[in-house]
Amino acid sequence: MSMLRERKLNRLRDYDYSEFGYYFVTICVKDRELCFGDVVGGNMILNKFGRIADQCWREIPNHFNNTEFDKYVIMPNHMHGIVVINDDIVGNATVGNADLRSLQIQSKNDRTKMSLSKIIHGFKSSTTRIINKTHGIYGNLFFAWQKSFYDRIIRNNHELYRIRKYIINNPLKWHFDRNNPENLQP
């Protein structure tokens, strides 16, 4: 019997990520390669790959009809964004899941709703396919995203405000960002 390392769970256990909510996500490029552009004077200047990622992100609501995006920023080697999965009830504008009602998971066979993981997978695969198909390799590597992504369930309006502010100010803080290769420890 082989000893496989147990994989760390990235999602909140027993939480239904297809339920209504605001979700903060961070998605990183494989090996933190700088491939989406540069931060100049506190502003993110997208290159051709960055513009493709931007277009794919903006297309999310066209492919997932219960989804919209809120604030987002594409950085040189990662991106942050708020994905909103809408409720079936029109006009429900409350942020978060106060009582974590999403713990009442529907049948595993219910594929009528798209989960956050499926949305991010669609974004990542589209971006990868378009960049590699239209631009081939850059340097000696094909473009690739890091496996998985980071998420945070936004539970209230105060948290939503703080995260929006973080996203907007992210290019201003690139010099200090842990994803900036200049800040990585050797």
Least confident residue range of 10-14, 39-43, 150-154: 10-14
Q: What is the pTM for the complete model shown?
A: 0.77
Residue 182 lies in a domain: no
pLDDT cut 90: percent of the chain above it: 46
Residue 81 lies in a domain: yes
pLDDT in tens, 160-171: 999 999 999 999
- What residues make up the domain containing 137? 21-99+113-172
Name the 3-class secondary structure at 183.
helix
Residue 9 lies in a domain: no
Residue 108 lies in a domain: no
Q: CA-CA distance, 26 to 38, in Å (whole number)?
A: 18
Residue 11 lies in a domain: no
Tokens of 120: 């991010």
Band of residue 136 on the pLDDT scale cut at 50, 70, 90: low
The single residue listed with the structure tokens 């040189």 is 76
pLDDT in tens, 73-102: 999 999 999 999 987 544 334 343 333 333
What confidence score (pLDDT) does residue 112 get? 46
Residue 43 lies in a domain: yes
Residue 46 pLDDT greater than 90, yes or no:
yes
- CATH label of the domain that carries residue 27: 3.30.70.1290
Work out how many domains the chain is built from and give that number: 1
Band of residue 141 on the pLDDT scale cut at 50, 70, 90: low
Residue 178 lies in a domain: no
Q: CA-CA distance, 25 to 80, in Å (whole number)?
A: 6
Residue 15 lies in a domain: no
